[in-house]
Structure 1
Amino acid sequence: MGADARAKPGSLSGGRNGASRSGLLGGIDWPATLLKGHPRSRQDLLRRPRSAQPSELWLVIVDASASTRRGGALSQAKGLLAELFDAAYRQRARLALLHATGTQPRWLWQGQKSASALRDWLDQLGAGGGTPLIEALQQAAQWQARRQNLQPGEQQRLLILTDGRLRDWPALPASQCPALLVDIERTPVRLGRARQLASELGADYQHIDELALRARSPTWNTP
């Protein structure tokens, strides 16, 4: 499949160099900030103490099925992913990336640091095929459990990007780590299943359009 979507500007600020730092506080902790909900002021932006460098793993599940072509959904998701990869590089977080499209999910990254190879994959990412999202969630939970046994001091976070366009799914266990589901459904008639999925997983829920609106706010872009 071709790369049918160009990355649009995402919802995180700071670019490649990140936000300016002063005193004992370092860069913005974007996963923790987004898990709190929409930042409405500078005080809502959580920063990481410079002296503290906890080992973190960000597990990202990307739904790039054919339905994500609609309304520029995948383009918006790619913009968010580009900034997330940059943030992981700056903060030295490790990444795991699970691509949910076609007939079965595929691991692209499993606990390494962010690298240019992820950018190359993102540039080529296109929508197509089925939606093996449930299988991806099940595989991710199993992998996380094994990883936690090997790295008990590591802090895990889960990010899911999906339009939620699934027919039915079995009962799912709640995520064992802080989780955020970003809904990328952007069709005129929305089914709203991503919100239901987030509820079952015990994950926080955000719609990508709302994140984009916040990105245009001065309090978001200039912390």
Structure 2
Amino acid sequence: MSIRPRSHPAADARPRAGKLDRGPRGRARAAGQGSVAWPATLLKGRPRQRDELCWAQRTAAPAQLWLVIVDASASTRRYQALSKAKGLLAELFDQAYRARARLALLTASGREPRWQRHGLKASAALQPWLAELGAGGGTPLLEALQQARQWLTQRQRRYPNEVQHCLILTDGRLKAWPALEALPCSSLLVDMESAPVRLGRARQMALELGAQYQHLEQFNLR
């Protein structure tokens, strides 16, 4: 469907030469506001009036990557912890789609973590996968964190201008773990622990990872 604009009396007027230069300098001047692009300005000589200034072009927002690590071990099946987290993930995927962000998904269950998605743009195809996501098996969360750390570091070398975020969903129910290394990007750990008696280990894990902490019950996407 196309929408045609209403005709205007000036539409039949004779075309006149434009006042803006072509090329980067012309586009810089077209901004007309914000910060002055001094290199482009001084290439024309010392400015004597405002019209001789070139203005910095507005740049597009940097590309974003959201890495989501989901603890889907057997313990997250209790008290519907994973089911509640899936509602949060559905909203997150929707936001990523609207923000045109890239998503990477890593699940931790069974014997080893599994990559479900490697930095592809968010799409509606994620919803069927989310609906089928179930809990069971062991908790290879530490291995997942190590793989995530390595993958993020490698990707930063390839895409230095990309803004990375990491979201970790876990109940923290591991018996013990060695000292954890901080993740190389802005991170948030969402505590899924829903048992009446809570161990609170996820909070300690967030501290060691250098991640912000929030419990699932109080978590809100912004």
Deviations 1:91-121 (A, max 9, x none): 0000000011000000000110012331111
1:70 corresponds to which of 78, 86, 91: 78
Distance 1:126 1:143 in 2: 25
Indicate yes or no: 2:138 matched with 1:159: no
State the AA in 1 paired with 2:196.
P
Indicate yes or no: 2:151 matched with 1:135: no
1:150 corresponds to which of 128, 143, 158: 158
Indicate yes or no: 2:180 matched with 1:177: no
Give the RMSD, CA atoms, in angstroms: 1.6
- Equivalent residue number for residue 100 of structure 1: 108
TM-score by length of 2: 0.71
Distance 1:139 1:73 in 2: 24
- Equivalent residue number for residue 200 of structure 1: 208
Indicate yes or no: 2:131 matched with 1:123: yes
> What's the % identity of the aligned pairs?
66
Indicate yes or no: 2:46 matched with 1:56: no
SS state at 2:125 partner: helix
State the number of aligned residues: 165
- Higher relative contact order at CA 8 Å, sep ≥6: structure 1 or structure 2? 1
Moved segments of 4+, more than 3 Å: none
- Equivalent residue number for residue 198 of structure 2: 190
State the AA in 2 paired with 1:57.
L
What is the CA-CA distance between 1:53 and the residue it aligns to?
Answer: 2.2
1:209 corresponds to which of 194, 200, 217: 217
Distance 2:89 2:158 in 1: 27
Q: Which runs of 5+ in 2 are unaligned?
A: 1-57
Q: Which runs of 5+ in 1 are unaligned?
A: 1-49
Distance 2:124 2:217 in 1: 27
